[in-house]
Chains A and B, each alone.
Chain A
Amino acid sequence: MSTAEPLLEVEDLTTTFSTDDGELMAVDGIDFSVDSGETVCIVGESGSGKTVATESITRIVKSPPGHVEGSVRFKGQDLLEMSEPELRDIRGYEIAHIFQNPQEAMNHCYTVGWQIMEALQIHRDVSNEEARAKAVDLLDKVGIANASSRFDDHPHEFSGGQKQRVMIAMALVGDPDLLIADEPTTALDVTVQAQILRLLDDLQEEFDMGILFVTHDLGVVAEIADRIIVMYAGKVMERGGVLDIFDHPAHPYTQQLLNCLPDIGGNTGGIPGKLPDPHDPPDGCRFAARCDHTIDACRTGQQPEEVEVNPGQKASCVYYRPAHDDSVIRDGIQNTEPDTTEVGSADD
């Protein structure tokens, strides 16, 4: 991680929704940053607030009922301070999005070429010929064969993987600094998924983009991530470099997530229990109700402060206390051996 200001720096991001049942806190005060050329993965199970967190960055989250607070600094400007028109200039040009379901992500009434040109022409005053040339160029770049003849085809004439390629082409019209990819491969089969991931990797190198990648698939994470942020019920549970997290996960939630991977833990049954009610989150750690290590301290106060358990790796768990705190309960939890009491956090 560089010492200069990161490309994107999110602080205390909180997104609430007004619903008939009261306020729903989908994202509850999270921090993270993304640098140019780096891939940061947000992982967590469905409903943990990953998507809302990324859609809050450019405020494309539906509002009302959504309400975004905190600070989102992008290249030195606070996006949350910006007016809608100012933000529209950034959306799709400097910060681009691709989404989970390429089947539905394009308007079925227009040709793919029209939709790529639209993305370009709402931002820059370019002629139709120039826009068309650029769009064909981008389609070619993302691996659509015969790009200029496919330009006038409609989305339904493309396969799922090709549609996601077109979506990526659309995202690249402004040479974006940041690409937010929200489960872009979840709806695709495994071979196509691998192709798309490789494409994103190549494009990242070429465009020097930061990528914020949301997924619940840890296999995908292992392939592309530089750093990982583990979210649960709107809070960050753990964060760190990809190798640190996979080698010695510190938070019990991360450990249980990794245990669900077939070739690591082999726990195919998943984690028992379900997410807490977002209208009324419990005191203490959000994960306490489903954790194997819960003690009384887990159920009081706030979500524990994030503590550095290794250089660059932080966990939010009462088992890891800040250095200045003397009341150490235990020195951490080691994966797969939940009852060990004396082990340090990092040796395997």
Chain B
Amino acid sequence: MGLGRYITARVAWAAVVSLIIVTITFVLLAAAPNPSIREAATQAALQGGDPAAAAERERELRGLNEPLHVRYLDFLQSVYTLDWGWSQHRSQPVTEALWEGLYYTAQYSIPWTILTVILGPIVGVYSAANMYSWKDHAATGFAFFGYAIPNFFFGIILLLIFGVWLDVIPVVYDTSVPLFSLDNVIQLIIPVFVLVTGSIGATMRVSRNESAEFQNSDFMKTAKAKGVSPLRAYAYHVMRPTLVPLSTTLVGQLLALFLGSSLLVEVVFGIPGLGRLTFDALVAQDTNLVLGATLVFTFIAVVGNLVEDLVFTILDPRISYDDR
């Protein structure tokens, strides 16, 4: 089988892609003026020193006077050894800051992703099985509502209803709550719900339309003629082929939401996750931390696309991986 070779090739390709991204980042950084040099020069001028000499000292301190290729190799080594520098604004190593952000982001991202991946196709196939009935219309209406309403706005409305009026959830996320506790579940329910309604719409629509084609297929008739029960027929003969086209859209959808909406949701709910961390770093012009967060997001995107490619070939045996 060429599957093993194909997987190896794909993983190697993902590594190449990540190298290209890191290189582009380096080029952009090298071309951009470094704020700390400007700052050093300004400081020197204010204190009556020589701004040019101060700038030169700062450049030397940061290794910017080295030739470009030395700096590039140095940069590469730092990136791949996770030596991502010091975050001035948070006064801690960048990797440590990112780990802290990831800890909170994962708490709502993992349940949200799992729920979307499980519920989206089920609701979609259910909707297709009852196409044009009130069940289908209800599911479709729900999907479009979640898809259309901006996540941050929906989050604010829910906070107002459940946090302020009904007072059943905390308005501000409490980081002192233990990870596995009822309080933590309660404070994460609304953010997870908001993200699920946002992501399930697209997943559900794609699986509904794809499975509509398969449930009227000849092989469903064969399954029925074999004596397969409707539940088994949907679980095995409709769901499986539906996952193939779905997997291509699902990863893209989830990544877009992860990178975009999670920031807004974190700001609204006050969760100190990766999105908020990146946002604060941008506002504070903390270059090292912004760079680190960008790398995390790009690596997640690269890995996501890699997983999508691999899942795709495993799900659809007709895809040949021999000559690629």
Contacts and interface: CB of A to CB of B under 8 A. Distances in A.
Given A88-B229, A89-B227, A93-B227, A105 B222 contact: yes
Contacts of A156: 317-318
Interface residues of B, number: 22
Interface stretch (A117-125, A196-204, A212-220): A117-125
Interface size class of A (residues with CB under 8 A): 20 to 34
Interface in B209-225: 217-219, 221-225
- Choose among B224, B232, B241 the residue with the greatest number of A CB atoms under 10 Å from its CB: B224
Contacts of A118: 226, 228, 236
A45 B218 CA distance: 21
B226 A107 contact: no
B62 interface: no
B316 interface: yes
A90 B222 contact: no
Contacts of B221: 60, 99, 105
Interface string B280-293: 00000000000000
B219 A106 contact: yes
A264 interface: no
B226 A170 contact: yes
A123 B227 contact: yes
A1 interface: no
A167 interface: yes
A59 to B, nearest CB: 9
Contact of A91 (B218, B219, B224, B316): B224
B240 interface: yes
B132 to A, nearest CB: 11
Contacts of B316: 108-109
B218 to A, nearest CB: 4
A104 B217 contact: yes
Given A88-B227, A93-B227, A118-B228, A109 B317 contact: yes
Contacts of A228: none
B225 A167 contact: no
Nearest to B217: A104
- Choose among B218, B225, B227, B241 the residue with the greatest number of A CB atoms under 10 Å from its CB: B227
- Choose among B218, B315, B318 the residue with the greatest number of A CB atoms under 10 Å from its CB: B218
Interface string A72-114: 0000000000000100111111001101010011111111000
Interface string A281-324: 00000000000000000000000000000000000000000000
B243 to A, nearest CB: 9
B226 A92 contact: yes
A134 interface: no
B237 interface: yes
